[in-house]
Structure 1
Amino acid sequence: SQAGFDVTGLDLSADMLKIAEKRATSAKQKIAFIEGNMLNLSKAGKYDFVTCYSDSICYMQDEVEVGDVFKDVYNA
Protein backbone atom coordinates (compact mmCIF):
# COMPACT_ATOMS: atom_id res chain seq x y z
CA SER A 1 0.00 0.00 0.00
CA GLN A 2 2.97 2.33 0.50
CA ALA A 3 3.55 2.22 -3.26
CA GLY A 4 -0.04 3.24 -3.96
CA PHE A 5 -1.52 -0.19 -4.62
CA ASP A 6 -4.85 -1.35 -3.22
CA VAL A 7 -3.93 -4.15 -0.80
CA THR A 8 -6.06 -6.88 0.77
CA GLY A 9 -4.88 -9.31 3.42
CA LEU A 10 -6.57 -12.66 3.99
CA ASP A 11 -6.10 -14.94 6.98
CA LEU A 12 -7.98 -17.80 8.57
CA SER A 13 -7.27 -16.44 12.06
CA ALA A 14 -9.26 -13.50 13.42
CA ASP A 15 -6.50 -12.96 16.00
CA MET A 16 -3.84 -12.65 13.30
CA LEU A 17 -6.03 -10.23 11.38
CA LYS A 18 -6.36 -8.03 14.48
CA ILE A 19 -2.57 -7.91 14.77
CA ALA A 20 -2.25 -7.10 11.06
CA GLU A 21 -4.88 -4.34 11.33
CA LYS A 22 -3.04 -2.77 14.28
CA ARG A 23 0.24 -2.84 12.37
CA ALA A 24 -1.35 -1.35 9.26
CA THR A 25 -2.96 1.41 11.31
CA SER A 26 0.33 2.16 13.10
CA ALA A 27 2.08 2.37 9.73
CA LYS A 28 -0.74 4.58 8.39
CA GLN A 29 -1.47 2.07 5.63
CA LYS A 30 -4.91 1.50 4.15
CA ILE A 31 -5.29 -2.28 3.86
CA ALA A 32 -8.51 -4.26 3.66
CA PHE A 33 -8.55 -7.47 5.69
CA ILE A 34 -10.71 -10.54 5.09
CA GLU A 35 -11.13 -13.50 7.40
CA GLY A 36 -11.13 -16.50 5.12
CA ASN A 37 -9.50 -19.66 3.90
CA MET A 38 -7.09 -19.73 0.99
CA LEU A 39 -8.88 -22.89 -0.12
CA ASN A 40 -11.90 -20.72 -0.98
CA LEU A 41 -10.92 -17.36 -2.39
CA SER A 42 -14.28 -16.71 -4.06
CA LYS A 43 -15.21 -14.12 -1.37
CA ALA A 44 -11.95 -12.26 -1.83
CA GLY A 45 -12.75 -10.80 -5.24
CA LYS A 46 -10.54 -10.29 -8.31
CA TYR A 47 -6.92 -9.16 -8.14
CA ASP A 48 -4.11 -8.23 -10.52
CA PHE A 49 -1.47 -9.81 -8.30
CA VAL A 50 -1.63 -12.45 -5.55
CA THR A 51 1.16 -13.56 -3.24
CA CYS A 52 1.40 -16.07 -0.43
CA TYR A 53 3.48 -14.68 2.41
CA SER A 54 5.80 -16.83 4.49
CA ASP A 55 4.93 -20.52 4.76
CA SER A 56 1.14 -20.52 4.54
CA ILE A 57 1.09 -22.97 1.65
CA CYS A 58 2.90 -25.49 3.87
CA TYR A 59 -0.26 -25.86 5.97
CA MET A 60 -2.18 -27.52 3.15
CA GLN A 61 -3.03 -31.14 3.94
CA ASP A 62 -1.83 -32.67 0.69
CA GLU A 63 -0.84 -31.97 -2.91
CA VAL A 64 -4.48 -31.83 -3.96
CA GLU A 65 -5.11 -28.89 -1.60
CA VAL A 66 -1.96 -27.16 -2.85
CA GLY A 67 -3.27 -27.55 -6.40
CA ASP A 68 -6.67 -26.22 -5.35
CA VAL A 69 -5.05 -23.13 -3.82
CA PHE A 70 -3.11 -22.43 -7.00
CA LYS A 71 -6.28 -22.83 -9.09
CA ASP A 72 -8.13 -20.37 -6.83
CA VAL A 73 -5.23 -17.90 -6.99
CA TYR A 74 -5.18 -18.18 -10.78
CA ASN A 75 -8.90 -17.37 -10.87
CA ALA A 76 -8.55 -14.48 -8.43
Structure 2
Amino acid sequence: MKCKDCQFCKYEGAGIAGGYKCKHPNIEESAKKYEQLKRKVINKDYPHIGYQMIKTSLRYCPYRIDREESL
Protein backbone atom coordinates (compact mmCIF):
# COMPACT_ATOMS: atom_id res chain seq x y z
CA MET A 1 0.00 0.00 0.00
CA LYS A 2 1.22 3.48 -0.81
CA CYS A 3 1.15 6.18 1.85
CA LYS A 4 -0.85 8.55 -0.34
CA ASP A 5 -3.69 5.98 -0.46
CA CYS A 6 -3.56 5.15 3.26
CA GLN A 7 -6.20 6.44 5.65
CA PHE A 8 -3.62 6.82 8.44
CA CYS A 9 -1.32 9.22 6.57
CA LYS A 10 -2.10 12.77 7.72
CA TYR A 11 -0.41 16.14 7.38
CA GLU A 12 -0.05 17.97 10.67
CA GLY A 13 2.04 20.60 12.37
CA ALA A 14 3.95 23.54 10.94
CA GLY A 15 7.56 24.49 10.42
CA ILE A 16 10.23 21.99 11.37
CA ALA A 17 7.74 19.86 13.36
CA GLY A 18 5.29 19.71 10.47
CA GLY A 19 4.96 17.16 7.74
CA TYR A 20 3.23 13.93 6.90
CA LYS A 21 2.81 11.52 9.78
CA CYS A 22 1.58 7.95 10.01
CA LYS A 23 -1.20 7.70 12.59
CA HIS A 24 -1.46 3.89 12.47
CA PRO A 25 -1.83 2.51 16.03
CA ASN A 26 0.87 -0.16 15.45
CA ILE A 27 3.55 1.98 13.77
CA GLU A 28 5.99 1.86 16.70
CA GLU A 29 5.59 -1.89 17.18
CA SER A 30 6.15 -2.41 13.46
CA ALA A 31 9.24 -0.17 13.44
CA LYS A 32 10.80 -2.07 16.35
CA LYS A 33 10.06 -5.37 14.59
CA TYR A 34 11.79 -4.02 11.45
CA GLU A 35 14.84 -2.95 13.48
CA GLN A 36 15.16 -6.44 14.97
CA LEU A 37 14.68 -8.25 11.66
CA LYS A 38 17.10 -6.13 9.61
CA ARG A 39 19.48 -5.25 12.48
CA LYS A 40 19.29 -1.60 11.51
CA VAL A 41 18.48 1.48 13.59
CA ILE A 42 15.87 4.01 12.51
CA ASN A 43 17.25 7.47 13.33
CA LYS A 44 14.06 9.47 13.00
CA ASP A 45 10.71 9.65 14.74
CA TYR A 46 8.82 6.50 13.71
CA PRO A 47 5.56 8.16 12.63
CA HIS A 48 7.31 10.90 10.60
CA ILE A 49 7.03 10.21 6.86
CA GLY A 50 8.48 13.41 5.47
CA TYR A 51 7.80 16.99 4.48
CA GLN A 52 6.55 15.86 1.07
CA MET A 53 4.45 12.82 0.24
CA ILE A 54 6.58 9.81 -0.69
CA LYS A 55 5.79 7.59 -3.69
CA THR A 56 5.88 4.28 -1.79
CA SER A 57 5.34 3.22 1.80
CA LEU A 58 7.79 3.26 4.69
CA ARG A 59 10.02 0.19 5.06
CA TYR A 60 8.45 -0.43 8.45
CA CYS A 61 4.84 0.25 7.46
CA PRO A 62 2.51 -2.05 9.46
CA TYR A 63 0.75 -3.14 6.25
CA ARG A 64 4.07 -3.98 4.59
CA ILE A 65 5.42 -5.90 7.61
CA ASP A 66 2.21 -7.97 7.88
CA ARG A 67 2.33 -8.79 4.17
CA GLU A 68 5.99 -9.95 4.39
CA GLU A 69 5.26 -12.14 7.42
CA SER A 70 2.42 -13.92 5.64
CA LEU A 71 4.69 -14.97 2.74
TM-score by length of 2: 0.30
The structure with more radius of gyration: 1
TM-score by length of 1: 0.29
Pick 1 or 2: higher relative contact order, CA cutoff 8 A, min separation 6: 2
